Amino acid sequence: MNDDQLLRYSRQIMLPGVDLDGQLALADARVTIVGAGGLGNPVGLYLAAAGVGHLTLVDDDTVELSNIARQIAYTDQDVGASKAVVLAREMRRRNPHVTVAVHSRRLTSENAADVLAGSQVVVDCSDNYAARFAINDACIALAIPSVFAAATAWQGQIFVANPASAEHPCYECFNPSRDELDASCSRNGILGPLVGVIASQQAVEVLRLLLGLPTAAVLQLYDARDSQWHRIAMAPRAACPCRGK
């Protein structure tokens, strides 16, 4: 690590639980972010800024004017451009020491195992159930921990799935129904900074996993109408396919 990097990360390196060894572990880490929207923007910017060395973005969408109120890496000049390409550019601008790879395609059950292989942590910043189940199935098969989150209207939620832990549920334990309708921001609306709150918490959980800090099996719920966080204990479902693996 050179002088620029030591100075850049100095406030993080001084923390017990990070230290120089932790910062070096972050520099070696490989994290894939699925979705470059309201959650993916802050997650990508924070993980790049924090020095997570090898980041991959997966998104096939383009920037629209209605995204910009909450997808804070994008400006009016980016309307029509690839979200993954623009976000990767902004992440590199925040930190030239990290690499950002781009998959300008939608994550599906067919390509998920190929796209996610080699990741140490996968971050679900998608906005649909198909992508979450694709992430979940691939991460169970590949034994990769994942940080799931969703935000709509005034509420957000987040939990960590970890196939290496007997206590942690997977996404299918949490949501066994594969045929639910997506709750989209275009239908339900969303408070702009809510995604920043949830995404920041996701970035914290990713760093905790990479630094080897213990992760609780809890669903963290945030309601912006009364500014309350709630924590609900989670457990694997005995009948879930993940338990047989």
The least distance separating Zn ion from the CB of residue 161, rounded to whole angstroms, comes to 8
The least distance separating Zn ion from the CB of residue 34, rounded to whole angstroms, comes to 18
Told to check if 173 binds Zn ion by CB under 5 A, we report: yes
Told to check if 24 binds Zn ion by CB under 5 A, we report: no
The least distance separating Zn ion from the CB of residue 118, rounded to whole angstroms, comes to 23
What's the N-to-C CA distance of the chain in angstroms? 39
Told to check if 151 binds Zn ion by CB under 5 A, we report: no
Which one of the spans 13-21, 148-156, 164-172, 193-201 is the region binding Zn ion (CB under 5 A)? 164-172
Told to check if 240 binds Zn ion by CB under 5 A, we report: yes
- Choosing from 18, 55, 58, 242, the residue that interacts with Zn ion (CB under 5 A) is 242
Which one of the spans 2-10, 88-96, 115-123, 172-180 is the region binding Zn ion (CB under 5 A)? 172-180
Which one of the spans 53-61, 93-101, 167-175, 222-230 is the region binding Zn ion (CB under 5 A)? 167-175
Gap between the Cα atoms of 70 and 37, Å rounded: 8
Told to check if 138 binds Zn ion by CB under 5 A, we report: no
The least distance separating Zn ion from the CB of residue 242, rounded to whole angstroms, comes to 3
Closest to Zn ion by CB, 204 vs 240, is 240
Residues whose CB is less than 8 angstroms from the CB of residue 125 and which lie 6 or more positions away in sequence, other chains included:
33, 34, 35, 36, 37, 38, 39, 40, 43, 149, 199, 202
Q: How far is CA 68 from CA 47, 73, 157, in A?
A: 20, 8, 22
Closest to Zn ion by CB, 208 vs 237, is 237
| Amino acid type, 11 | R
Told to check if 172 binds Zn ion by CB under 5 A, we report: yes
Give me the DSSP letters along 180-218.
PPP--HHHH-B-HHHHHHHHHHHHHHHHHHHTT-----E
Which one of the spans 31-39, 57-65, 173-181, 223-231 is the region binding Zn ion (CB under 5 A)? 173-181
Record the tokens describing residue 7, joined without a space: 């100075």
Residue count of the chain, please give it.
245
Q: Under DSSP, is residue 25 helix (H, G, I), strand (E, B) or coil?
A: helix
Catalogue the active-site residues: 185
Record the tokens describing residue 188, joined without a space: 């339900």
Which residues form the interface with Zn ion (CB under 5 A)? 170, 172-173, 240, 242
